[in-house]
Structure 1
Amino acid sequence: MHNDTGNPAFQLGERLRGWRERRGLSQMALALQAEVSTRHLSFVETGRAQPGRELILRLAEELEIPLRERNVLLATAGFAPVFEQRPFDDPYFDPVRAIIGITLERHRPFPAFVIDRHWNVVRTNGGVPELYEGIDASLLEAPTNVVRLMLHPLGMAPRVQRLAAWRSHFIVQMRRQFDLTADPGLGSLLKEALAWPGGMAPIDESTGGPAMTLDIDTRIGRLSFISAITVFGSPVDVTLQEIALEVMHPANAFTDATVRAAAAARAEVRPAR
């Protein structure tokens, strides 16, 4: 059979087959999960059959394909996208932004920020500016990227204790995210991060877990933080699926007292409005 790579049905089939293989599923396993015959799924993957909108969405759900890519699949098949892709400043997100704003403000003087799918900072409360002193100005230009801030040799990396473990911590998380999304931008960032110096600790599940402590030297002392991440998953909106709120809590009494004292000192010298 001749495969026409310019045929939308073939392009759709190739994308679906790629996601199935990425998830490690056989055609039979996916067919059983999606309640479709293996023969029909085979025809879909080779472009010999054009699936309907319902089947595309059902296969995408079983394969846990990100909403952004589900829209691409639908468009490839000639269907209108069904998942909204609004900018984060759209009025639709006013309630979400209000909740985020309250969280960011209440978490001061400790750091908190919202990041997108490429680890770029969308919002921040500006907590603990001492963390960023000495960082190359190019890394602080918008959009500021958390991975570059943390691991780039011109960023925070020289001051991070157990840098090899932190590199592994980020690499594990980024690889998981890339495996889930196949996002080319994330793949480029991962490749970039792997090229930076700093060594690597053994990469395992514990290294990549969410409870690793960040210990970093600053002008006001060695500070220790532990972070918590909240995701805003939504079954119908691409933007909410792709952002996360990260808040950093003091991991010891010294960090708590030192950060609060530094914030109070800045407030005292801040000119009155």
Structure 2
Amino acid sequence: MYSVGELLRQWRHRRGLSQLDLAIAADVSARHVSLVETGKSRPSAEMVLRLADQLHVPLRDRNALLLAAGFAPRFPERALDDAGLSAAYDAVRRVLHAHLPYPALVFDRRWNILMTNPALDRFLAGVDPQLLTPPVNLVRLGLHPRGLAGLVVNLADVRALFRRRIGRQLATSPDPELTAIYEELLAPGPADPPGPRIESDVAIPMILRVDGRELRLFSTITTFGTPMDITLDEIAIESYYPADAASAAYFT
């Protein structure tokens, strides 16, 4: 069991900050940061949260810091459809619906899909039902041979994108379950079959071969700006857009 000082030092190292850097950002003395990290000073709950804020610590881990310092957690975790999150849940539903006729989905910190809009359904028709048993993992769904991998023309590009995104996520916020998914599906191994060379001055699209035609899609990520609930802090909405007129015509 780590002390609060040890946990703060770990987060500071992940962010590549010195004690002086953190002290300046949090408007405290470097000596105080040092005393907290070495356990010679017991920080208040407010000080723990101030340092955590400057270190961009996720809300789940801020609770862990508070517990390590002897304080009660401050941030609740509720299901997305909990009555207490009704306004946020309604906002997410509106975003998904407004994005029709194009696909959009919501996933959590471990890339488990929480919600989708109906435009995604047509792409799931040939997926192994076992991969669609909740919780459905977006990475596994996209890269598994019995998932969507058979539809993806530029699979190497898509795998590289997942590898970069999840690699960055794990570097800043380690998670054992996400690490297992990374090692299962994204760790270096046999090369993916070569796909077409993608030339684009906007974004590298994902190319799907569906119904005898190739669809080119790129995506954007939407997150909550100032969440105070762990669930909202950890979810993201991925919205897919057609990258050319032919792909747009398929949906419309």
Question: What's the TM-score, normalizing by structure 1?
Answer: 0.81
Residue equivalent to 1:69: 61
What per-residue deviation string (whole Å, max 9, x for no partner) do you get for residues 197-249 of structure 1? 66369xxxxxxxx9331111123522221212211132422221111111212
Alignment of 1:184-263 (within 5 A): 184-195=176-187, 199=191, 211-260=203-252
Is the contact between residue 164 and residue 198 of structure 1 (CA under 8 Å) also seen in structure 2?
Answer: no
Which residue type is aligned with residue 223 of structure 2?
A: V
Superposition RMSD in Å? 2.3
Aligned partner of residue 95 in structure 2, secondary structure = helix
After TM superposition, give the deviation of residue 57 of structure 1 in Å: 0.9
Distance of 1:172 and 1:234 partners within structure 2: 25
Q: Which runs of 5+ in 1 are unaligned?
A: 1-5, 202-209, 261-273
Which residue type is aligned with residue 233 of structure 1?
A: G
In the alignment, structure 1 residue 132 sits paired with structure 2 residue 162: no
Q: Name which one, 1 or 2, has greater alpha-carbon Rg.
A: 1
Alignment of 1:167-178 (within 5 A): 167-178=159-170
Distance of 1:140 and 1:256 partners within structure 2: 26
Residue equivalent to 1:141: 133
Is the contact between residue 23 and residue 30 of structure 2 (CA under 8 Å) also seen in structure 1?
Answer: yes
Which residue type is aligned with residue 79 of structure 2?
A: P
After TM superposition, give the deviation of residue 122 of structure 1 in Å: 0.6
Is the contact between residue 109 and residue 128 of structure 1 (CA under 8 Å) also seen in structure 2?
Answer: no
Residue equivalent to 1:60: 52
Is the contact between residue 220 and residue 258 of structure 1 (CA under 8 Å) also seen in structure 2?
Answer: no
Distance of 1:232 and 1:33 partners within structure 2: 24
After TM superposition, give the deviation of residue 31 of structure 1 in Å: 2.2
Alignment of 1:73-92 (within 5 A): 73-92=65-84
Runs of 4+ residues deviating >3 angstroms? 195-198
Distance of 1:93 and 1:217 partners within structure 2: 38
Distance of 2:172 and 2:145 partners within structure 1: 28
Distance of 2:30 and 2:120 partners within structure 1: 56
Is the contact between residue 163 and residue 198 of structure 1 (CA under 8 Å) also seen in structure 2?
Answer: no
Is the contact between residue 167 and residue 199 of structure 1 (CA under 8 Å) also seen in structure 2?
Answer: no
Distance of 1:63 and 1:158 partners within structure 2: 41
Distance of 1:129 and 1:113 partners within structure 2: 11
Q: Which runs of 5+ in 2 are unaligned?
A: 194-201
Identity over aligned residues, as a percent?
Answer: 43
Is the contact between residue 112 and residue 247 of structure 1 (CA under 8 Å) also seen in structure 2?
Answer: yes
Question: What's the TM-score, normalizing by structure 2?
Answer: 0.87
